[in-house]
Amino acid sequence: MIKKFIDNLIAGATGRKPRFGKRKEVGPQEHAIDPTLVDERALSVVHTLKEAGHEAYIVGGAVRDLLLGLRPKDFDVATNATPEQVKSLFRRAFIIGRRFRIVHVVFGRGREHEVIEVSTFRAYLDAASAEAVSGNERTSKSELAGMHHAVDASGRVLRDNVWGPQEEDAARRDFTINAMYYDPETRIVVDYHGGITDAKKRLLRMIGDPATRYREDPVRVIRAVRFAAKLAGLGFKFDPKTKSPLLHALPLLQEVPQSRLFDEMLKLLQTGHSLATIEQLKALGMARGIYPLLDLVVERAEQPFVRAALQDTDRRVNEGKPVAPSFLLACVLWSDVREGWQDRTARRLHPFPALQESIDEVFDARIGDISGRGKLGADMREIWMMQPRFEKRSGQTPFTLVEQPRFRAAFDFMRLRADIGEVDVMLADWWQEFSQASDLVREDLVAALRDEQRKQQQPRVRRVKPQASAEGEAPAPERRAAEGEAAEGEGATGDAPRKRRRRRRKPAGQGGGEHAPHAPSAGESAE
């Protein structure tokens, strides 16, 4: 019913019907997906939705990865159930988003929790169809109220919460390889736009007219770069028609909210292919112009410290370990912070206030209000402020520092600094051993370090070569020793001599004076 309604409106406004593709169902013999690669929680979500009478499929990049024989890292589910209906079926489910309302179904707790993202089939509406829908006299107020979809005059999609049939949901997706639907129970893949063929050909192709699709949502420019970098290792290449409008569409990103661009930049750098992404941006002539902070990352990617941070981030993602954007951005901006810090300390400012002022200056200049004053900014600040504290390893400082929530990130940061020679490797090794040791071993490490520092601080005694007197007497040290023995002999008949005070020796040849060695007389001993 909805499909007919929208088709009639579009046909009346434009004289044509949109191409939603032809539905093709592909069985397991042809697609050869290994069912053991499907996450059990995604399978549970699909089963629950279908049992409640709804359609439900695994969708998007997960289907692409399954077709390539890879185990997907994330599973998304698409359904004809509304967000409210989805939420009602699961004990821990949360509706999120405004522009694109979806449901997060949560399994497990703490760091081990898993999120299955569930979206409702969206209707396909471009600028012409949206105008036809809103301007049609027969469209009721309730129907308009239900259409939270908005397209501006340039064709850019502002909201995307108009529910529709599956074929339209497939048409409004960006790339053919991301527009397939897999039912894990029947093991059928539903394909409308030749995604299976493109996956076999290793081809990244936009659905519909690429220039129009970039205009509808300019962020697709960034997504195209991200997918190209991610799939380059698997042999994927751009379809020429998809690639050619990319550079011309770059100015459209100026209309996108800065907060959304910031999030998309983080996705580029945290998919496990940050270095490949930077190379892709350079190859496409897009090294500048997406987002100022991303421009800086590309510019500094060849610096040893930044490159080491990018490599470390890629490694952690590919090992399935968590990554924090605060760590990578702290590495990218460290040279700015360090230079400001050194400049202030050179002007005799106390090190810690100098570091704080430098951090504030960098936040204002490089990040602004997008995320610099939120949790991400607070984590970056802690990482930086802990760096000088690693130098102090006495008293209770090591014990309190190692208990800080951001210690591990700050230590990893310092370890990278040691890897490039910015700090002593022995300092990083000591902290690594300390952080992994028991309380007793930690106390021993601090005590051993204290003893070593004391030895290094003790002044060295300069040995003076003995000199003989002009009259042939014994050298001064031997003469003083002999006099001391004689004095001891004189006092041996009396009471035990008093404890001699240690006095500073004067240089050889300078006898007398109040600091000269003094042997007690017999009378003094008798007293």
From the list 39, 65, 76, 126, the catalytic residue is 76
The tokens of 326 are what? 């605060």
| Closest C-alpha among 46, 37, 110 to residue 74 | 37
Write down the H helix ranges in 149-273. Answer: 166-171, 195-201, 210-216, 219-232, 240-243, 246-249, 258-269
**CB-neighbour burial class of residue 210 (10 A; exposed 0-12, middle 13-18, buried 19+):** buried
Residue 261 half-sphere exposure toward CB, CA atoms < 13 A: 20
Distance, in Å, from the CA atom of 161 to the CA atom of 123, rounded to the nearest integer, reads 8
Q: Do the beta carbons of residue 198 and residue 176 sit within 8 Å?
A: yes
Beta pairing, strands 180-183 & 93-96: unpaired
Distance, in Å, from the CA atom of 333 to the CA atom of 328, rounded to the nearest integer, reads 9
Instruction: Look up 76 and say whether it is catalytic.
Output: yes
* Neighbouring-strand partners of residue 183: 188
| Closest C-alpha among 149, 191, 194 to residue 166 | 191
Phi, psi for 234 (deg, rounded to 5): -100, 5
The tokens of 139 are what? 């469209």
Instruction: Look up 263 and say whether it is catalytic.
Output: no
From the list 7, 74, 183, 295, the catalytic residue is 74
Sequence length of the chain is: 527
Cβ contacts of 276 within 8 Å, gap of 6 or more: 229, 230, 232, 233
From the list 39, 126, 169, 174, the catalytic residue is 174
Q: Both ends of the chain: CA-CA distance in Å?
A: 123
| Amino acid identity, position 259 | S
Instruction: Look up 74 and say whether it is catalytic.
Output: yes
The tokens of 454 are what? 């004391």
* Neighbouring-strand partners of residue 79: 56, 120
Distance, in Å, from the CA atom of 331 to the CA atom of 300, rounded to the nearest integer, reads 10
Long-range contacts of 162-165 (CB under 8 A, 24+ apart): 162/122, 162/123, 162/125, 163/2, 163/80, 163/82, 163/120, 163/121, 163/122, 163/123, 164/2, 164/3, 164/6, 164/121, 164/122, 164/123, 164/124, 165/2, 165/3, 165/80, 165/121, 165/123
**CB-neighbour burial class of residue 520 (10 A; exposed 0-12, middle 13-18, buried 19+):** middle
Categorise residue 158: left if φ over 0, alpha if ψ from -120 to 50, beta otherwise. Answer: alpha
Q: Which residues are catalytic?
A: 74, 76, 174
